[in-house]
């Protein structure tokens, strides 16, 4: 899923322009971008570009927080991490124990191994999506993209 501090119209425009098949969420009050330590991180009034790969148990497996618009992981590197997690899920390694009561405070951007907080946001398509409804059965790629491109 992708998330920005855009409004519904801009989120819908991006989804249509790129033919995206995954949820594009908008966070107009910046509450989620702020909770993740990304809002105005670069001093420009929008979310820093960031990509988090979140394990089924809600902890961060991989994180890249960009310092410029172009700093982001390649699609191949994301797919490599997901493939590695799929191997672990097949029993090569086991996930750390689930503890849904432990959510670490996000004083800054979350780090690998931290459990991320849940959120519920509207999508460009008009429905509402929460992080928790997308984790548990699968790993989640959460991309914060810079608004107003």
The ranges assigned to domains in the chain are 2-144
- Please report the pLDDT score of residue 32 as a whole number: 93
> Is pLDDT at 74 greater than 80 in this prediction?
yes
**Burial code of 52-61, b = ≥16 C-beta within 10 A, e = fewer?**
bbbbbbbbbb
Q: Are 58 and 139 in contact (CB under 8 A)?
A: no
Q: Give the architecture (CATH level 2) of 2-144.
A: 3-Layer(aba) Sandwich (3.40)
DSSP secondary structure letter of residue 41: T
Q: Which tops the pLDDT comparison, 102 or 78?
A: 78
In terms of pLDDT, which residue wins out, 135 or 60?
60
User: DSSP class of residue 67?
Assistant: S
Structure tokens at 15: 């989804």
3-state helix, strand, coil in the chain (%, to 5): 25, 20, 55
Q: What is the mean pLDDT of residues 10-33?
A: 90
pLDDT, one tens digit per residue, over 22-70 is 999 999 999 999 999 999 988 888 888 999 999 988 899 999 998 887 7
Q: Please tell me the predicted confidence (pLDDT) of residue 105.
A: 45
pLDDT of residue 97: 45
């Amino acid at each position: 899923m992708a998330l920005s501090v855009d409004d519904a119209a801009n989120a819908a425009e991006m989804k249509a322009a790129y033919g995206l098949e995954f949820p594009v969420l908008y966070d107009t009050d910046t509450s989620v971008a702020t909770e993740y330590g990304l809002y105005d991180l670069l001093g420009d009034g929008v979310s820093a570009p960031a990509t988090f790969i979140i394990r089924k148990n809600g902890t961060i497996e991989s994180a890249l927080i960009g310092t410029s618009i172009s700093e982001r992981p390649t699609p191949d590197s994301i797919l490599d991490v997901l493939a590695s997690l799929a191997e672990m899920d097949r029993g090569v390694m086991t996930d750390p124990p689930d503890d849904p009561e432990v959510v670490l405070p996000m004083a800054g951007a979350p780090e690998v191994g931290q459990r991320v907080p849940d959120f519920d946001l509207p999508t460009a398509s008009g429905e509402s999506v929460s992080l928790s409804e997308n984790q548990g059965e699968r790993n989640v790629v959460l991309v914060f993209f810079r608004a107003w491109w």
